[in-house]
Amino acid sequence: MLKSVARSSAAWRSQSRLARPFSQTLSAFNAKSDNTETAQFTHFGSKRVPKVEKEKLVRHVFSSVASKYDLMNDVMSLGIHRLWKDHFINKLDAGKRPNSTEPLHFIDVAGGSGDIAFGILDHAEQKFHDTESSMHIVDINPDMLKEGEKRAMEQQKYFNDPRVTFLVQNGETLDKIESNSKDVYTISFGIRNFTDIQAGLNAAYRVLKPGGIFYCLEFSKIQNYLVDSAYQQWAKILPVMGSIVANDYDSYQYLVESIEKFPDQETFKEMIQKAGFESAGYESLTFGICAIHWGVKV
Ligand X SMILES: C[S@@+](CC[C@H](N)C(=O)[O-])C[C@H]1O[C@@H](n2cnc3c(N)ncnc32)[C@H](O)[C@@H]1O
Binding-site positions for S-adenosyl-L-methionine: 113, 139, 170-171, 188
Q: Which of 270, 271, 264, 266 is nearest to 198 (CA)?
A: 271
- Which residues touch 173 (CB under 8 Å, ≥6 apart)? 199, 203
Minimum distance, C-beta of residue 128 to ligand X, in the bound complex (Å): 23
Q: Which is nearer to ligand X, 201 or 279 (CB)?
A: 201
Amino acid identity at 64: S
Q: Which is nearer to ligand X, 111 or 239 (CB)?
A: 111
Q: Can residue 215 be called a binding residue for ligand X (CB under 6 A)? A: no
User: What are the phi and psi torsion angles at 256 (to 5°)?
Assistant: -60, -45
Q: Can residue 194 be called a binding residue for ligand X (CB under 6 A)? A: yes
Minimum distance, C-beta of residue 254 to ligand X, in the bound complex (Å): 11
Q: Which residues are annotated as a binding site?
A: 113, 139, 170-171, 188
The count of residues interacting with ligand X (CB under 6 A) is: 21
Q: Can residue 193 be called a binding residue for ligand X (CB under 6 A)? A: yes
Q: Which is nearer to ligand X, 113 or 265 (CB)?
A: 113
Q: Can residue 140 be called a binding residue for ligand X (CB under 6 A)? A: yes
- Among the listed residues 115, 183, 218, 248, the single contact to ligand X using CB under 6 A: 115
Q: Can residue 262 be called a binding residue for ligand X (CB under 6 A)? A: no
Q: For residue 46, give Cα distances in angstroms to 61, 172, 173, 240, 255.
A: 15, 21, 25, 17, 10
Q: Can residue 45 be called a binding residue for ligand X (CB under 6 A)? A: no
- Among the listed residues 95, 119, 171, 295, the single contact to ligand X using CB under 6 A: 171
Q: Which is nearer to ligand X, 104 or 144 (CB)?
A: 144
User: What are the phi and psi torsion angles at 209 (to 5°)?
Assistant: -75, 160
Minimum distance, C-beta of residue 81 to ligand X, in the bound complex (Å): 7
Q: Can residue 62 be called a binding residue for ligand X (CB under 6 A)? A: yes
CA–CA separation, 92 and 161 (whole Å): 23
Q: Can residue 219 be called a binding residue for ligand X (CB under 6 A)? A: no
Q: Can residue 106 be called a binding residue for ligand X (CB under 6 A)? A: no
Q: Can residue 190 be called a binding residue for ligand X (CB under 6 A)? A: yes
How long a stretch of residues is the chain?
Answer: 298
Q: Which segment (44-52, 99-107, 109-117, 243-251) binds ligand X by CB under 6 A?
A: 109-117
- Among the listed residues 141, 220, 251, 253, the single contact to ligand X using CB under 6 A: 141
Q: Which segment (125-133, 137-145, 219-227, 275-283) binds ligand X by CB under 6 A?
A: 137-145
Q: Can residue 258 be called a binding residue for ligand X (CB under 6 A)? A: no
**Cα 230 → chain centroid:** 25
- Which residues touch 126 (CB under 8 Å, ≥6 apart)? none
User: What are the phi and psi torsion angles at 175 (to 5°)?
Assistant: -70, -10
Q: Which segment (7-15, 108-116, 220-228, 281-289) binds ligand X by CB under 6 A?
A: 108-116
Residues engaged in binding ligand X (CB under 6 A) = 58, 62, 109-113, 115-116, 139-141, 144, 170-172, 188-190, 193-194
